[in-house]
C-alpha cells in the first residue's frame, strides 16, 4: 500500500504541528520541490526536524537566530543519503510555500505537497536523493491527483531560489519516464 491514513509507506514519521486543513474540496495537484540545510551547507543533523517541530534552539547556531518563532513545515524531507521523513499527512496543508502563485492560483500550500531536499540551491544533489524522490513520487501518484511539478523558485520568483541550479531537472524527468 502506498499510503495509509495520509502517511507514505517507508517514510519515517515525525509529526509537525505546523499544518492545518486544506480548503474544502481542494486536492493536492502540485508537487513542490524545495531545498534546505541547517546550518546552511551542513547535512545530516537534526536541525531541520527541530525546525519543523518547533524545537530548534535559536542559540544553537548564529544562523538560527533569524528562525526564532518561525512556524514552517513540509510534507517530506529527502535526506542526502536518500532517507525519507514525513512530517505532515497528505490530507493536511503543510506550511512550506509561503506567498506563492502557480498557473494563476494563489496560496500554493492549499493544493500542493511540499518536498524538501536536504541541500542548498548552489549544490548538486546525489543519486540517492533522486532515487528516493522518484520512488516517493510514484507512491504519491497512486493516491493523489498530481498534475504538476514545480520548484519553490517557480511559485515564488524573486523571493526563493530553491531547489536551485544543482537540481538536475533533466535527470529527474528521465528517471520518472523510466519508472
Q: Are 132 and 84 in contact (CB under 8 A)?
A: yes
Chain segment 105-128, per-residue pLDDT in tens: 999 999 999 999 999 999 999 999
CA distance 20 to 1: 25
Count up the domains in the chain and report the number. Answer: 1
Q: Mean pLDDT across the stretch 162-171?
A: 97
Q: What CATH number does residue 147 fall under? A: 3.40.80.10
- Give catalytic residue positions: 116
Chain segment 56-95, per-residue pLDDT in tens: 999 999 999 999 999 999 999 999 999 999 999 999 999 9
Domain limits for position 13:
3-178
CA distance 27 to 30: 9
At 48 the pLDDT is: 98
Amino acid at each position: 500500500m502506498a499510503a495509509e491514513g495520509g502517511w507514505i509507506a517507508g517514510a519515517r514519521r515525525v509529526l509537525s504541528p505546523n499544518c492545518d486543513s486544506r480548503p474544502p474540496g481542494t486536492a493536492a495537484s502540485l508537487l513542490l520541490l524545495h531545498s534546505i540545510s541547517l546550518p546552511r551547507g551542513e547535512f545530516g543533523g537534526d536541525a531541520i526536524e527541530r525546525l519543523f517541530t518547533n524545537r530548534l534552539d535559536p542559540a544553537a547556531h548564529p544562523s538560527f537566530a533569524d528562525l526564532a518563532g518561525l512556524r514552517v513545515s513540509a510534507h517530506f524531507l529527502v535526506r542526502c543519503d536518500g532517507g525519507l521523513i514525513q512530517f505532515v499527512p497528505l490530507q493536511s496543508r503543510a506550511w512550506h510555500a509561503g506567498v506563492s502563485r502557480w498557473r494563476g492560483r494563489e496560496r500554493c500550500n492549499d493544493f500542493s505537497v511540499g518536498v524538501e531536499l536536504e541541500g542548498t540551491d548552489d549544490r548538486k544533489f546525489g543519486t540517492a536523493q533522486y532515487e528516493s524522490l522518484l520512488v516517493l513520487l510514484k507512491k504519491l501518484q497512486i493516491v493523489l491527483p498530481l498534475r504538476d511539478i514545480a520548484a519553490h523558485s517557480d511559485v515564488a520568483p524573486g523571493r526563493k531560489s530553491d531547489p536551485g541550479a544543482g537540481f538536475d531537472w533533466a535527470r529527474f524527468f528521465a528517471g520518472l519516464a523510466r519508472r
